[in-house]
Amino acid sequence: MKTFISILSIFYFSLLVNAQVGINTANPKATLDIVSSDPDDPSNIDGILIPRISKFPSEDPTDEQNGMMVYLDHDIDDFSQGFYFWNAEESSWLPIEGNSSEANFYEIDTENSPQNIESAIYRDGNIGIGTDDIESKIQVEVDENDDDTQKGLEIDNQNSETNTRTTYGIENTNRSSTNGTKYGIKNNVNGTGSGIHYGIFNETFQSTGTNDIYGFFNRVGRTYGARSDNFGMYSEIGSSTAQGNIYAIYGFAEGNSTANVFAGYFAGRLGIGLNPSTEYIFPSERGIEDMVLSLGENGLMRWRPTTYFPYVSSTSSTGTFTIEDHLGSLRINNNLSSVQVPDASENRGRTIILVCWSTTSDKPLSFVNGDDLFDVTTNSTVSNIESGTVLTILSAGNRWLVINKYKE
């Protein structure tokens, strides 16, 4: 009997050491081989239930539990729901996932795949969304057949903090060292379609407070010694064949009766013209009461008193001297044969002073479009200016009038 028990014990010991266990199979292929009730039509209970936990143990497992597996049944802290195993070497619970070296994204400062939907992630390579022709760090393409997608990119910053923190919808910095062209933002809107096209559409609101509001704030010109043309805003629009109303800049502003409203405001000199040779430049300083702007040499506008008359001398000119628009007073020298007075209808209200030097002989006056010069004090027309005479004439629109005559 003792011999039988000993032999039976040896048999069972051998079974424990070498046996394979099969569930739903008589021919197990591993230490534990579980086969579903029907591989082609499994039931809803064909499977293994790993121990389910709602949080990880407060006391970490030891080396003896290395590889122990559990199932976390909901998200906690930095761990999302899913299968985890105890990694004794790292003393941490790790998610059961693919090889982290093959992951598309990593958690910050690690080579681990993200474990939580709120984890910060990164990758070194470029990213293409809607395209595999990638030339940018992030390249987004809306396919021409994707009729449901209206936006290539949308950013909505809904930060609800009421402190004084500065927030941004987009912050862009170009710190490249290229000697080629650099862009902060380059935007292109094609001409396809008949609707309204916007290159940039901007809306800025402020409900309370007294801080400034800027629809567009641009700071340019910190060139650090570079000698170049600097443009705060440079606009080109239209062509020689363009039609309709074309505005390079259009400003509209309105406010209540207490507001200072300007459609445009320039803190500095203002130049207007097609090119430097035809431009005229407004002064940056303010004139005093009753002064008027007049065009001086080199296209510079200047504040002048209302009695300012630009002085011109005929010098050594010969023939007929034609009085031009810029002239206020003319010294008539003897080399001239006559003086032509401009069209009265185009110069209504204009005053011209004619000075015939004492060494100059009488000079005929010529007129255009049937004009004449009438002296109301003598009730007669004047056809010449006498030697040694200062004659002030005024356009009445249909003829010229003598308003003052001084003779030596």
Distance of alpha carbon 109 from alpha carbon 118, whole angstroms: 16
The CA distance from 148 to 193, in Å, is 17
Question: What average pLDDT score do residues 120-143 get?
Answer: 89
* pTM strictly above 0.75: no
HSE-CB of 134 using CA atoms within 13 angstroms = 13
For the stretch 353-371, pLDDT in tens is: 999 989 999 999 999 999 9
Closest residue by Cα to residue 391 from 344, 359, 353: 353
Ranked by mean pLDDT, the top range of 231-245, 290-304, 353-367 is 353-367
Q: Which of the 8 DSSP states describes residue 391?
A: E
Q: List pLDDT tens digits, range 55-85.
A: 999 999 999 999 999 999 998 887 888 899 9
Query: Do the beta carbons of residue 302 and residue 293 sit within 8 Å?
Result: yes
For tokens 């064909």, the residue is 46
Q: How far apart are CA 393 and CA 354, in angstroms?
A: 8
* Mean pLDDT to the nearest integer, 203-224: 83
Residue 132 CB neighbour total at 10 angstroms: 7
> Do strands 363-366 and 384-385 pair parallel, antiparallel, or not at all (unpaired)?
antiparallel
- Specify the higher pLDDT residue, 59 or 6: 59
Average pLDDT of the chain, as a whole number? 87
Burial of 139 (0-12, 13-18, 19+ CB in 10 A): middle
String of b and e for 336-356 (b: at least 16 CB within 10 Å)?
A: beebebbebeebeebebbbbb
Q: How far is residue 27's CA from residue 38's CA, in Å, rounded to a whole number?
A: 16
* Res 222: pLDDT: 65
Q: What percent of the chain has pLDDT over 90?
A: 48
Q: Given strand 336-340, what is the order of strands in its sheet?
A: 319-322, 336-340, 363-366, 384-385
DSSP 8-state code for residue 14: H
What average pLDDT does this structure show over 19-28?
84
Q: Please answer whether residues 348 and 342 qualify as being in contact, where contact means their C-beta atoms are separated by less than 8 angstroms.
A: no
Contact 333, 313 (CB under 8 A): yes
Report d(CA 176, CA 15) in Å as an integer.
Answer: 72
pLDDT band with cut points at 50, 70 and 90 for residue 10: very low
pLDDT, residue 12, reads 46
Residue 78 Cα distances to 82, 88, 107, 118, 371, angstroms: 12, 19, 11, 8, 96
What topology does CATH give the domain 309-407? Jelly Rolls (2.60.120)
Domain with CATH 2.60.120 in the chain: 309-407
* 329, β-bridge pairs: 311, 353
